[in-house]
A and B are shown apart, each in its own frame.
Chain A
Amino acid sequence: MRSHSSKPSWRPPRGVSRDRSGRARPLLLQALAEPERLPSLSAAGWDRLLREARRAEMLGRIAALVAGLGALDRIPTPARDPLEAARLIVEQQQRLIRWEITRILHALAGSDFPIVLLKGAAYLLAELPAGRGRLFADVDIMVPAEQLVQVEERLLQAGWEFVTLDRYDERYYRSWSHELMPMRHRHRGIVVDVHHNILPPVGRLLADARLLLEAARPLPGSRLAVLAPPDMILHSAVHMFQSGELHSALRDLTDLDALLRHFARDPGFFDALVARAHALGLARPLFYALRNTRRLLGTPTPEGLERRVDIPPRPVRALMDYLVSRAMVPRLPDATPRGVTLSRWALHVRYQWQRMPARLLARHLLHKALSRRAAR
């Protein structure tokens, strides 16, 4: 095995504060912040990084970063296989996502309202760096609120079904939610979420969906659109703190980082972003987004930007910093199994292996893997 131990080891990237507990910072964050240093990572570093990335479901992202540097042949041989595995899985997922979108377009053909892609699907089809190597199990779209009923009917007619929910969930979605109940085509696996806003109308924060639709940017040669750059950031920021999905928070953070780095090339971007956040009443989520991308991933943003957005009272800020660091950063539980509860991901391995036909096990593993992400 090749060893790179003679090379200097990684230090936290500049501008990134140290972990307060003094523990070694997760390599995953360093890798995401400074991918150009990946080729000089030692074998021991790769060992750790691969495990952190697998745990955070970000191996595909690391694979894309290495490939983007053209550095696949410069990393230790044993590190290549897990990256290749992740790349193949991401590729198929992205194929399925693209295909699902063409099916949605087909089902809605004949109408002419805009269909705005959100999150992963938007990054993928708008060819943004945030989509590279990103794994996703669902397609999120936004349509004008008054079209929601029509969209639901058309999708049902074209073979989509509501993903089975209990009665409480159904009532929640019907009465309060900013989206239709999740739907899935009866012959396919991808879940489609149809939104008419990016926030629940019952939430404390309220963004005006019409403003978002008006500002949306059409994709060339299609009736599809994506949110305008500031709105894309704001949506991701809101999602990170409101979805309640801690395991996907790091992915949201990485999305934000990639989006901010990309949009920063437009000199007027940050002014537009701040103005938009205030106009939509989303200054607080933006503050946390900016603060945490800078703190954890070293995302370069203009000096003093956070102050122009919003500053929560100091104790709130400190608590948030603490919570974000604990929740978002994957730590490997190597030291002790510290009362890890048997998650629903736990498998009765003997049962699986001996009694489940391979095909079923494969489906089961896929379902588990996807439902962990799709669960909401």
Chain B
Amino acid sequence: MTVGELARDEFLARLEHPGISLDTGPFLIRIKTAIGELADEVRFLYGEFPVLPDGGITHFRLELRRPAGLRRWWRPQVFSLFDGERRFEPMPLALAIPTLEWSLNWCVAANAHHHVMVHSAVLERDGRALLLPGTPGAGKSTLCAALAHRGWRLLSDEFALLRPADSQLVSWPRPISLKGPSIDLIRAFAPDARLGRTIPGTPKGPVAHLRPPSASVQRARDRAEPAWVVFPTYRAGEPARLTPLSRARAFYRLAQFSFNYELLGPPGFETLSRAIDGCDTYDFTYSKLDDALPLFQALVAPSSRRVAGS
């Protein structure tokens, strides 16, 4: 039973009480809220995720509420509770869905230390994974959304989750958050992309969430071998260019983007370095998606593989 297969009324009722438990692949999460607009957005964005029966194990419980009393009528707010405890500052009510997404990210970054976690988009082709680590604004999410609609399977837009045992990448397909001009860009680039409501007026301009493609959600349990690490930079007016980057430099940067590799000590170091061992590593600058995509498709062709040790 998926979210989308539940009748809307039933979904809303269960979301309000006791909360809906979702199987998102590596994490079982329970979301609880009585905020109607949020409920419909969750129903759309997480529509293809399996619903778990109540009363089982969930890894993270999030509840989104509005403050009680008169406060709710003046600049309405929303806040999220992790395990029933308020750990985050309230946000404007209009940002309910980003607040849910940020809170979920926080839960994982702060707790899921059975993986080495890197702030990176991850996509897969033929079992081989492409990592796109990036700071906000580097064009990571735009690129990720575009690739996810051109034959690459989305593993995650925010988290590379590496297993310490074998450095394989675990999939956590969640909505992709698109900001500002990226929204229209992706709409034009991939007419089949399914975008949620556009939320105006965030500090970063408008934000919209892209529903993860069906194939990604259905294959949420399939892992992938790290094969490419590409550091994207968006630079207006520049042609798309892949520049080989040394593995040591790629490791160093990946470590900067990791949430917990230092916390894990030697296993963290081994996991990341084993991942880099199997990867071709590049810097990437681009301004247009249409120029960028062919370069990634060419990566997959066997002839383009760098000779080991080069």
Q: Does A348 contact B267, Cβ atoms closer than 8 Å?
A: no
Chain B residues bordering chain A, tally (CB within 8 A): 52
A-B contacts, 5 listed (Cβ < 8 Å): A43-B55, A46-B57, A54-B83, A337-B84, A349-B87
B256 touches A359 (CB 8 A): yes
* Residue from the set B26, B80, B89, B99 with the largest chain A CB neighbour count within 10 Å: B89
Contact A43 B57 (CB under 8 A): yes
* Across-interface contacts of A347 in B (CB, < 8 A): 87-89, 106
Chain B interface: which of A30-38, A85-93, A245-253? A85-93
- Considering the complex, give the chain B residue whose CB is closest to the CB of A99: B265
A76, B86: Cα distance in complex, Å:
28
Does A354 interact with chain B (Cβ within 8 Å)? yes
B243 interface hit (Cβ, 8 Å): no
Asked if A180 is an interface residue, CB under 8 A from chain B, the answer is no
Q: Are B84 and A349 in contact (CB under 8 A)?
A: no
Q: Nearest residue in B to A3 (C-beta to C-beta)?
A: B56
| C-alpha spacing A127/B105, complex, angstroms | 37
Question: When chains A and B are docked, how far (Å) is the Cα of A126 from the Cα of B266?
Answer: 24
B192 CB within 8 Å of chain A: no
Asked if A357 is at the interface (CB within 8 A of a chain B CB), the reply is yes
Q: How far is the CA of A1 from the CA of B65 in the complex (A)?
A: 29
Pick from B109-117, B123-131, B212-220, B301-309 the stretch touching chain A.
B109-117
Please name all residues of chain B whose beta carbon is closer than 8 Å to the beta carbon of A350 when the two chains form the complex: 89, 91, 95, 98-99, 102
Q: Which residues of chain B are near A76, meaning CB under 8 Å? A: 57
Q: Closest residue to B135 on the A side, CB-wise?
A: A357
Tell whether B188 is near chain A: CB-to-CB under 8 Å: no
A84 to chain B, nearest CB (A): 4
* Nearest Cβ on chain B to A7's Cβ, whole angstroms: 14
Report B-chain residues with C-beta under 8 Å of the C-beta of A268. none
CB of A81 within 8 Å of the partner chain: yes
Does A358 belong to the interface (CB within 8 Å)?
yes
CB neighbours of A95 from chain B (8 A): 265-266
Chain B CB within 8 A of A332 CB: yes
CB closest residue in chain A, given B118: A358
Q: How far is the CA of A332 from the CA of B82 in the complex (A)?
A: 11
Measured between alpha carbons, how far is A347 from B106 in the docked complex, in Å?
9
**What per-residue 1/0 map shows which CB atoms of A353-365 lie under 8 Å from chain B?**
1110111011101
Contact A358:B256 (CB < 8 A) given known A44-B55, A84-B114, A88-B264: yes
Contact of B102 among A54, A91, A334, A353 (CB under 8 A): A353
A366 interface residue, CB < 8 Å from B?
Answer: yes
* A340 touches B (CB below 8 Å): yes
CA distance A343 to B105 in the complex (A): 20
Q: Which chain B positions have C-beta within 8 A of A342?
A: 86, 89
Q: Is the CB of A78 within 8 A of B258?
A: no
Contacts A78-B57, A81-B112, A89-B263 given; does A358 touch B85 at CB 8 Å: no
Residue of B nearest to A5 (CB): B55
Contact B56 A1 (CB under 8 A): yes
Decide yes or no whether B204 CB sits under 8 A from chain A: yes
Indicate if A158 sits at the interface (CB-CB under 8 A). Answer: no
Verify A333–B106 contact, CB threshold 8 A. Answer: no
Within the complex, the shortest CB–CB distance from B161 to chain A, in Å, comes to 11
In the complex, chain B residues whose CB is within 8 Å of the CB of A96: 265
Nearest chain B CB to A352 CB, angstrom units: 7
CA distance in complex: A43, B54 (Å)? 10
- Could you list 4 further interchain pairs (A-B, Cβ under 8 angstroms) beyond the known A44-B57, A50-B57? A1-B57, A78-B58, A347-B87, A353-B106
Q: Does B83 contact A55, Cβ atoms closer than 8 Å?
A: yes
A47 on the interface (CB 8 Å rule)? yes
Q: Does A172 contact B (CB under 8 A)?
A: no
* B56 contacts A82, C-beta separation under 8 Å: no
* Interface check B260, CB cutoff 8 A: yes
Closest Cβ–Cβ distance, residue A39 to chain B (whole Å): 15
Q: A76-132: which have CB < 8 Å to B?
A: 76, 78-79, 81-82, 84-86, 88-89, 91-92, 95-96
Task: Output the least CB separation between B95 and chain A (Å).
Answer: 8
B97 to chain A, nearest CB (A): 12
Q: Chain B residues with Cβ under 8 A from A46's Cβ?
A: 57
Q: Is the CB of B88 within 8 A of A348?
A: yes
Decide if A345 is an interface residue (CB 8 Å cutoff): yes
Minimal beta-carbon separation of B124 from chain A (angstroms)? 21
From A44, A348, A366, contact of B56 by CB (8 A): A44
Tell yes or no: B11 within 8 A of A by CB.
no
Q: How many angstroms from the CA of A345 to the CA of B82 in the assembled complex?
A: 12
Question: With A78-B59, A358-B256 in contact, is A340–B135 under 8 Å at CB?
Answer: no
In the complex, the answer to whether B258 meets A362 with C-beta atoms within 8 Å is yes
Say if the beta carbon of B262 comes within 8 Å of chain A: yes
Which residue of B is nearest A87, CB measured? Answer: B114
A346 within 8 A of B: yes
Chain B residue with Cβ nearest A189: B262
Q: What are the interface flags for B72-101 relative to A under an 8 Å C-beta threshold, 1 for contact and 0 otherwise?
A: 000000001101111111010001001100
**Contact: A82 with B88, CB < 8 Å?**
no
Q: Does B189 contact A (CB under 8 A)?
A: no
Known contacts A358-B257, A358-B258; is-contact A92 B263 (Cβ 8 Å): yes
Are the CB atoms of B112 and A85 closer together than 8 Å? yes
B66 within 8 A of A: no
The answer to the question of A51 belonging to the interface, with a C-beta cut-off of 8 Å to chain B, is: yes
Residues of chain A contacted by B105 (CB below 8 angstroms): 353
Interface contact A89-B106, CB-CB below 8 Å:
no
CA distance in complex: A54, B255 (Å): 26
Residue B43 at the chain A interface, CB threshold 8 Å: no
A81–B59 CB distance below 8 A: yes
Cβ of A365: which chain B residues have Cβ within 8 Å of it?
A: 109-110, 259
Query: Is B174 positioned at the interface, with any CB of A under 8 Å from its CB?
Result: no
Give the 5 A-B CB pairs with smallest separation, nearest first.
Answer: A92-B265, A358-B119, A85-B113, A85-B114, A84-B114
Q: CB < 8 Å: which of B56, B84, B89, B259 contacts A358?
A: B259
